[in-house]
Structure 1
Amino acid sequence: MIENNQSVYIIGEIGQNHNGSVDIAKVIIDLVCRPIEEDLFHLDLKPMDAVKLTKRDLAQELSKSQMEALYNSPHSFGKTYGEHREVLELKDEEHYEVFKYAKSKGLDVIETLCAIGCLSLLKYFTPDYLKVASRDLTNLPLLNAMAETKIPIILSTGMAGKEQLDDALKIITKYHNNISILHCVSQYPTHPDNVNLNTLNYLKKNYEKYTIGYSDHTIGIATPLAAVAMGAKIIEKHITIDRRMKGTDQAGSLGPDGVNRMVRDIRLYEKSLGKEEIFIDPSVNTAKVKLERSIATKRVIAVGEIIQKEDLHLLSPGDGFKWAEKDKVIGRTVITEIPENEVIYPNMIS
């Protein structure tokens, strides 16, 4: 389970946006590893924490009729849906190659396993997390097999209600409690009316022993940022090197600029939280002196005159007496002439 005192754990979901190519997967990883910078204050910010791949076992994927169905989409990589899916699959050894490349870049690697047969992958390497896709939250035999590995598990709730989530947790917790739960809506892209970010509050209250996060399928970066503000400790978002590439998930993914902006803004949000109190930060002192108001004269006040309330108003800069200190000024004798519309300082009065 990802500790709640850590920064937000950001997952870049490659999924099948590699289009069956290890080289493209590596280029996407390079994108994830690019420095995240804030130019105005020259801040170097923490990039994404992890990438996620998806592994399918086509023998356990779809019915025979669905696998053999013609697939005429402009995003198709084969005549039938089965042929299309086969082109998009990386072999176990290829997943391992991508895993090693991501680890060499300092990234965690998460694997979504879509069938029990996909656990063959674990002969080659151990991912940092296993992910249960929304569609498989009710696939209890798969959940049991994944939980038996004792590898930490991330669940997506995109097609689940409370009953389905509780059934899944009952299976996994027989083996371990290292579980994270992501609010998710399995509509691609997700309409704003259907996002229901308040589910995060429900999950935090009712599943407080687990890390709660959000897997996003909306367009843009506003919704994941809002999720972080609501307390999500994990954000997952599809990523690609080019949103115009062939592939059903490309257009709904973040390209290079989107990745940079989302991660930058999440990290800046983390920095901006500060502490739960009100205080004058040292960084505002210059502006405070320049812009705040001080007690000043409405008219020329000559030496020997006694200052009256009606002689005073407030002007910048803010390095003189504040109105709360007016009793230190009213009734005092002027010892050096004070021009009209000038701030009164202690050395001008008795």
Structure 2
Amino acid sequence: MKNTEEEVYIIGEIGQNHNGSVDIAKLIIELVSRPVTEDNFGLSLKPMNAIKLTKRDLKEELTDTQMNRIYDSPHAFGKTYGEHREFLELNDEQHFEIYQYAKSKGLEFVETLCAIGCLSLLKLFTPNYLKVASRDLTNLPLLAAMAETKIPIILSTGMAGKKELDEALDVITKSHSDISILHCVSQYPTHPDNLNLKTITYLQKHYGQYNIGFSDHTIGISAPVVAVGMGAKMIEKHITIDRHMKGTDQLGSLGPDGVYRMLRDIRIAEKWMGVEDIYIEKDVLSAKVKLERSLAAKHDLLPGDVIKEEDLCLLSPGDGYKWSQRAELIGKVVKTKVLENELIYPDFV
């Protein structure tokens, strides 16, 4: 019996880990489009499904006070926060170039739009999904504009409770219901005590008509694998080419080795899940024969002996009578000599 479940949809979030460079974005795409294998069993595994970029409209981003404040972080790309944001922002044509490159590598494309003005991007291309950032779940005018495009939408719940989520869904479903909801915690990195992966099962029970997944901000690769085990159908994780590059999200992202290991482990976890049944896997039958116990003679049994329960013990291999079948032997007459500590087969009695 094989796993009949659909594969998990895995998104590598570049976000702004490209540091304002199309070339760096392309290098990240190269990273996540590598073949994924499991060497012990010779498995060729499904690679990442999609990458994601983020588009901001700086005119709709922050107050003038915030945009003009001095930004003296070691991760700053400008003297003010506005200059920093402007340095990191790719224009529509650059997003299109990265989109085309991702498509050439067999990847789908997800775009986070942070303002209504960002919808100008859609004149150049149509992403497979539009993503609503956690902070914009309450930006209902933006949600309405995005929903009107009829492009499938992904929502992150990182800053939302049930009220905010329900209000967002009410707006989007006026246009369509092709929606994915990702459990998310907007803490970077997320403390283990705050992750609460059981929100995934809550969402499955109460919002099961939508695709339920997990957007991960923890350190490492374990949380997405656990989420897949809980039934998450979509996983999103920040990715980069170098976790020590300048940039606020780099250290909390997965580098090349981490991306590879996460993909490998998620795809293997999909295989682990199997089907909701109990059965003997055909690949286990040889071990069953080798290791299970069968009825054997405690001492030599000679032709004419009548078998009693006290004559029996259990020894491997498992290709003989089982203890539950001992009534088929007790009282039978031995016709072929059975040596001590050897199995008793049907043609011996």
| TM-score for both structures, normalised by structure 1 | 0.95
Secondary structure of the corresponding residue to residue 110 of structure 2 = strand
Corresponding residue for residue 275 of structure 2: 275
- 5+ residue gaps, structure 1, are none
- Whether 1:165 aligns to 2:165 is yes
Corresponding residue for residue 70 of structure 2: 70
Equivalences for residues 318-333 of structure 1 within 5 A: 318-333=318-333
Matched-pair contact (CA < 8 Å) for 2:190–2:219: yes
Corresponding residue for residue 313 of structure 1: 313
Secondary structure of the corresponding residue to residue 54 of structure 2 = strand
Give the alignment's Cα RMSD to 1 decimal. Answer: 1.5
Corresponding residue for residue 45 of structure 2: 45
Q: Deviation per CA, 1:214-271, whole angstroms, max 9, x where unpaired?
A: 1111111221122222221111110111111111111111112221222222222222
Corresponding residue for residue 16 of structure 2: 16
Return the alpha-carbon distance in structure 1 between the equivalents of residues 274 and 343 of structure 2.
35
Return the alpha-carbon distance in structure 2 between the equivalents of residues 291 and 266 of structure 1.
31
Return the alpha-carbon distance in structure 2 between the equivalents of residues 212 and 301 of structure 1.
64
Corresponding residue for residue 265 of structure 1: 265
- Whether 1:105 aligns to 2:85 is no
- Whether 1:57 aligns to 2:57 is yes
Matched-pair contact (CA < 8 Å) for 2:229–2:273: no
Deviation at 1:307, TM superposition (A): 2.0
Secondary structure of the corresponding residue to residue 110 of structure 1 = strand
Return the alpha-carbon distance in structure 2 between the equivalents of residues 338 and 175 of structure 1.
78
Q: Deviation per CA, 1:27-72, whole angstroms, max 9, x where unpaired?
A: 1111111111111111111111111000111121111121122222
Corresponding residue for residue 131 of structure 2: 131
Deviation at 1:85, TM superposition (A): 1.2
Letter in 1 for 2:69: A
- Whether 1:237 aligns to 2:237 is yes
Number of aligned pairs? 346
Corresponding residue for residue 120 of structure 1: 120
Deviation at 1:5, TM superposition (A): 5.5
Return the alpha-carbon distance in structure 1 between the equivalents of residues 158 and 220 of structure 2.
19
Return the alpha-carbon distance in structure 1 between the equivalents of residues 10 and 90 of structure 2.
23
Matched-pair contact (CA < 8 Å) for 2:212–2:233: yes
Return the alpha-carbon distance in structure 2 between the equivalents of residues 246 and 329 of structure 1.
76
Identity level (%): 69
Corresponding residue for residue 185 of structure 1: 185
Return the alpha-carbon distance in structure 2 between the equivalents of residues 134 and 7 of structure 1.
25
Corresponding residue for residue 31 of structure 1: 31
Task: Kindly report structure 1 stretches of 4+ aligned residues shifted beyond 3 Å.
Answer: none
Deviation at 1:333, TM superposition (A): 2.2
Return the alpha-carbon distance in structure 1 between the equivalents of residues 78 and 275 of structure 2.
55
Return the alpha-carbon distance in structure 1 between the equivalents of residues 90 and 240 of structure 2.
17
Deviation at 1:129, TM superposition (A): 0.9
Letter in 1 for 2:326: K
Mean Cα displacement is larger for which, 8-17 or 260-269?
260-269
Mean Cα displacement is larger for which, 265-274 or 153-162?
265-274
Return the alpha-carbon distance in structure 2 between the equivalents of residues 35 and 141 of structure 1.
41
Q: Deviation per CA, 1:90-149, whole angstroms, max 9, x where unpaired?
A: 111110000000011111101101111111111211111111101111112211221222
Matched-pair contact (CA < 8 Å) for 2:144–2:171: yes
Corresponding residue for residue 251 of structure 1: 251
Corresponding residue for residue 297 of structure 2: 297
Q: Deviation per CA, 1:184-227, whole angstroms, max 9, x where unpaired?
A: 11110111111112222222222222111111111112211222
Deviation at 1:169, TM superposition (A): 1.6
Return the alpha-carbon distance in structure 1 between the equivalents of residues 336 and 174 of structure 2.
84
Letter in 2 for 1:59: K
Matched-pair contact (CA < 8 Å) for 2:36–2:44: yes
Return the alpha-carbon distance in structure 2 between the equivalents of residues 306 and 150 of structure 1.
80
Return the alpha-carbon distance in structure 2 between the equivalents of residues 347 and 148 of structure 1.
76
Letter in 2 for 1:340: E
Mean Cα displacement is larger for which, 320-329 or 106-115?
320-329
Mean Cα displacement is larger for which, 310-319 or 299-308?
299-308
Return the alpha-carbon distance in structure 2 between the equivalents of residues 206 and 298 of structure 1.
60
Secondary structure of the corresponding residue to residue 181 of structure 2 = strand
Return the alpha-carbon distance in structure 2 between the equivalents of residues 346 and 49 of structure 1.
56
Secondary structure of the corresponding residue to residue 265 of structure 1 = helix
Return the alpha-carbon distance in structure 1 between the equivalents of residues 204 and 89 of structure 2.
35
Corresponding residue for residue 336 of structure 1: 336
| TM-score for both structures, normalised by structure 2 | 0.95
Secondary structure of the corresponding residue to residue 176 of structure 2 = coil
Letter in 2 for 1:347: D
Secondary structure of the corresponding residue to residue 295 of structure 2 = strand
Matched-pair contact (CA < 8 Å) for 2:189–2:217: yes
- 5+ residue gaps, structure 2, are none
